[in-house]
Chain A
């Protein structure tokens, strides 16, 4: 069901930028890219989403390639509290479902 591919795990040093890649080579023209994260045992948390342009909010930046076949979530200054599983999801704007794949387990190292 999931239309995205992510590395299973990554490490990042505290204070450095964490760059989480996602491949979505079969993305359709009207599908958005969403990012969520799940900190241990908690409910998934919305981070950011975008269609074509790069997006930035208080949590992260989303860089989408020009062909839209891949994207990168950037946490500019990772903290220990950013340790979580990060999910990249593509979805139509009227779609009801988020298909959560296996995500990337990010560990921020002190």
Chain B
């Protein structure tokens, strides 16, 4: 079974639309993360949740809203998509706030 899974793998949408990316981990971890990797391959953290509580919120437009219905899921909702949102989004999880992180396969978002 995949430890950290994301859906969809690819997402192509038009500017102005609202979309969601789902993430699930079956590792029993307490902490989950969202990262963004842009076209220059820089990988940067966006959000972190620990036991469903937001603990990191980097400088990210408020069009991005994470939602954690339970410890195993951390979804990313994006409103009013812009061209600059095109990137690969990775979900990750760790046992606790200090542990090594395990990443999902990524979701490639293309905004046209």
Report A's interface with B, CB cutoff 8 A: 34, 38, 41-46, 49, 85, 92-98, 100, 102
Closest B residue, CB atoms, query A43: B103
Residues in A with CB closer than 8 Å to B50 are: 96
Report B's interface with A, CB cutoff 8 A: 4, 31, 41-45, 48, 50, 55-56, 88, 90, 92, 97-98, 100-106
Nearest-neighbour CB distance to chain A for B27, whole angstroms, equals: 12
Secondary structure call for the A interface: loop
Residues in B with CB closer than 8 Å to A100 are: 42-44
Contact of A46 among B41, B88, B98, B102 (CB under 8 A): B102
Give 15 pairs: A residue, B residue, CB < 8 Å, sorted on A. Answer: A34-B100, A42-B106, A43-B106, A44-B101, A44-B103, A45-B103, A46-B101, A93-B98, A96-B55, A96-B97, A97-B45, A97-B56, A98-B101, A100-B43, A102-B42
A-B contact number at CB 8 A: 47
Residues in B with CB closer than 8 Å to A102 are: 41-42
Residues in B with CB closer than 8 Å to A42 are: 105-106
Residues in A with CB closer than 8 Å to B45 are: 96-98
Distance between Cα atoms of A93 and B99 in the complex (Å): 7
Nearest-neighbour CB distance to chain B for A39, whole angstroms, equals: 11
Residues in A with CB closer than 8 Å to B4 are: 43
Distance between Cα atoms of A94 and B56 in the complex (Å): 13
